């Protein structure tokens, strides 16, 4: 349960460390800072991890239950150790379920994810643990704790109330059944998305407009072309294929991912969460979920959403008019713009109105150069050194591993898994693999993994990224940094364990570096000639930066309001279906008409992981842009600003209130000015 320190997020990680010969799990005291032998993990290993965690849970309860004279050391620290092992265990299961090539290991890891979610619910609702925590919270020592420890206790006692400890024992037992059911349903929802596979077959004529490289990589023996639904297939096709019908065909398939299985699953998930919230005396699941976040309640979020919708609509209307005009110039039929034509029309605008050819641009973003530039920038800003680990034990041959140092001091480790393959997670995301934690021997050093799906190199051409993919790489590496630069004493406050509506800010801020020529000049080099991205081409890209930014922001508003509506009183058994609701919001907020026969929500995985909190993407972007304004003013490669940002934001994890962190770094209260400016609106 994500409201508990004992409930690891979907991406929290790792426990199984071993040499070539597996070491037994000995009293759960695995070497905290040795690399994990992922290549050696098998089904037995996974089951041993779960067995060890269950034993640790049982022993921890027995350890803290009989204590008199409670202190932080004898009551809270044992629970923090349990949280640490639970987080690391979840990491093993989650990363292997999403990225391991062996189907049996993936299946076993996925099953154990569900089992661990249920165990997490059990720990969150354990009466003995609650009584121990409550007894400690009422001691004189608890009133004199350090700020981080005090926040931990206050947050946990709030979450205990959310976990039903104001209810009778009978109602709490029923709550556990409800939470277990939600965990199972949510994991089914995510698994259906991950396992879904479909494609379209196109003729030579239907491939017109796509590049020769794209066609070559998708050509089949019979002369047709097979185009899948992963982003490296979907985006280039939608941007370049000149056939309206072909684009519509792929778009409809894309928006129907997992629709054959997930529509009833989503309805069940909404019903289960609503029933659980009401069981806890919350009016809606959104009210329950937002209790404890920065926004605090649905009313605040609705005000944020409606204000943003109103402020951005003029830019959105202007963007739509630009698409309509482009459509007329191209001689395309129809008075309205169909949503499946937006990718194509925007790309045409880039080329004709701004002189930006995406294919020309990507020649300057060879993956290894981008990675080198990302490393240079972040190492300079934060005083770090990355060293690739030779012959690292990893879950797939594509994975590379790096150790991070600050001078001679070891800081942490991260893994990069950058290319698509069958049965791998299909988007881009960071998995925190090991939380930071104070140990008697020093600190447990954090680890994280980054999964992406960038096109693989071919024998005659390296992997070339679109500028959007470069943004994605920088964004997700921001999450990596948030995790590995965490120095929190308590694992339950490590890294990205901040409020869900703030967690994107430390990653969104890093997108700004790929829009700065000083930064790009470090790595944006033509893959053949080595020529640095011409300033003239960059200026065109920069001029086009806010091309369609109004419609893009409105799209995020749609997603945010959709998720909030589903969890703030929506009845999936009512007259309006989840599909109809999405279409209603889309047509009210944006100028686009629905595309009949599509079910966007079936593959909108955030509806489980983020619940009602998708608004957090725009909410946190406001803070990200405000923080970047200091780098803009004092130097985007300024190590002093980087140090201040690292100390105020990245190192703190969730040990400090997010608003206090922002004020420390900015030297003032945050505001929306930088965000409004960033999307091309006048202040």
d(CA 587, CA 592) in angstroms, rounded, equals: 6
Give how far Cα 290 sits from Cα of 285, 337, 569, 619, 661, Å. Answer: 9, 37, 14, 13, 20
d(CA 36, CA 570) in angstroms, rounded, equals: 44
List CB contacts of 426: < 8 A, sequence separation 6 or more.
194, 229, 230, 231, 420, 453
Cβ 628 vs Cβ 515: under 8 Å: no
Helix (H) and strand (E) counts in the chain: 26, 9
Handedness of CA 266, 269, 273, 274 (dihedral sign): positive
d(CA 442, CA 641) in angstroms, rounded, equals: 27
d(CA 239, CA 228) in angstroms, rounded, equals: 15
What is the C-alpha radius of gyration for the chain, rounded to an integer number of angstroms? 25
Strands 447-451 and 409-417: parallel
| Burial class of 612 by CB neighbour count within 10 A (0 to 12, 13 to 18, 19+) | buried
Residue listed under structure tokens 């109004």: 550
Residue listed under structure tokens 């959007």: 468
Residue 62 tokens, joined: 């027995």
Beta bridge partners of 388: 402
Residue 516 tokens, joined: 């700065």
The residues annotated as belonging to the active site are 476
Cβ 478 vs Cβ 509: under 8 Å: yes
């Amino acid at each position: 349960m994500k409201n508990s320190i004992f409930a690891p997020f979907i991406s929290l990680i790792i426990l199984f460390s071993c040499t070539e010969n597996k070491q037994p799990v000995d009293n759960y005291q695995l070497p905290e800072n040795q690399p994990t032998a992922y290549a050696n993990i098998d089904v037995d290993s996974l089951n041993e991890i779960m067995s060890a965690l269950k034993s640790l849970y049982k022993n921890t309860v027995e350890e803290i239950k009989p204590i008199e004279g409670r202190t932080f050391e004898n009551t809270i620290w044992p629970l923090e150790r349990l949280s640490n092992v639970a987080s690391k265990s979840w990491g093993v299961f989650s990363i292997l379920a999403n990225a391991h090539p062996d189907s049996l290991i993936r299946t076993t890891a996925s099953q154990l994810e569900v089992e661990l979610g249920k165990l997490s619910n059990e720990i969150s609702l354990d009466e003995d643990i609650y009584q121990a925590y409550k007894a400690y919270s009422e001691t004189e020592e608890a009133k004199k704790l350090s700020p981080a420890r005090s926040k931990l206790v206050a947050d946990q006692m709030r979450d205990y109330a959310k976990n039903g400890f104001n209810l009778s024992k009978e109602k709490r037992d029923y709550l556990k059944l409800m939470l277990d059911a939600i965990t199972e349903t949510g994991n089914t929802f995510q698994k259906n998305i991950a396992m879904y596979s479909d494609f379209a077959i196109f003729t030579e004529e239907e491939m017109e407009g796509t590049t020769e490289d794209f066609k070559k990589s998708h050509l089949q023996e019979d002369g047709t072309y097979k185009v899948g639904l992963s982003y490296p297939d979907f985006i280039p096709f939608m941007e370049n294929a000149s056939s309206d019908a072909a684009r519509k065909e792929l778009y409809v398939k894309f928006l129907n991912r997992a629709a054959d299985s997930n529509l009833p699953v989503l309805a069940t998930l909404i019903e289960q969460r609503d029933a659980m919230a009401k069981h806890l005396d919350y009016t809606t699941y959104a009210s329950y979920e937002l209790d404890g976040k920065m926004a605090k309640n649905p009313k605040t979020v609705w005000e944020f959403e409606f204000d943003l919708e109103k402020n951005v609509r003029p830019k959105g209307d202007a963007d739509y008019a630009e698409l309509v005009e482009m459509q007329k110039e191209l001689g395309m039929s129809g008075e309205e713009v169909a949503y499946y034509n937006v990718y194509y029309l925007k790309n045409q605008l880039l080329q004709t109105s701004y002189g930006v050819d995406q294919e020309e641009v990507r020649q300057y973003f060879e993956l290894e150069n981008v990675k080198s530039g990302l490393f240079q920038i972040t190492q300079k800003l934060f005083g770090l050194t990355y060293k690739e680990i030779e012959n690292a034990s990893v879950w797939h041959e594509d994975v590379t591993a790096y150790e991070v140092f600050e001078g001679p001091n070891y800081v942490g480790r991260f893994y990069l898994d950058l290319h698509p393959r069958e049965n791998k997670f299909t988007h881009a995301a960071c998995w925190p693999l090991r939380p930071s934690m104070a140990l008697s021997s020093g600190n447990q050093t954090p680890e994280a993994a980054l999964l992406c799906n960038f096109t693989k190199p071919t024998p005659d051409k390296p992997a070339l990224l679109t500028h959007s993919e470069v943004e994605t790489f920088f964004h997700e590496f921001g999450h990596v940094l948030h995790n590995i630069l965490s120095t929190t004493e308590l694992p339950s406050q490590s890294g990205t364990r901040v409020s869900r509506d703030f967690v994107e800010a430390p990653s969104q801020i890093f997108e700004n570096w790929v829009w700065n020529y000083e930064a790009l000049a470090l790595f944006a080099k033509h893959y053949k000639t080595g020529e640095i991205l011409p300033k003239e081409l960059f200026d065109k890209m920069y001029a086009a930066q806010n091309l369609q930014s109004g419609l893009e922001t409105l799209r995020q508003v749609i997603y945010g309001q959709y998720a909030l509506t589903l969890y703030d009183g929506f009845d999936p058994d009512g007259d309006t279906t989840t599909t109809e609701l999405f279409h209603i919001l889309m047509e009210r907020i944006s100028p686009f008409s629905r595309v009949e026969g599509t079910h966007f929500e079936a593959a909108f995985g955030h509806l489980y992981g983020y619940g009602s909190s998708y608004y957090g993407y725009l909410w946190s972007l406001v803070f990200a842009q405000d923080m970047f304004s200091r780098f803009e003013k004092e130097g985007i490669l300024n190590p002093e600003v980087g140090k201040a940002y690292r100390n105020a934001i990245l190192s703190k994890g969730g040990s400090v209130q997010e608003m206090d962190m922002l004020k420390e770094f900015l030297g003032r209260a945050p505001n929306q000015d930088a965000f409004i400016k960033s999307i091309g609106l006048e202040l």
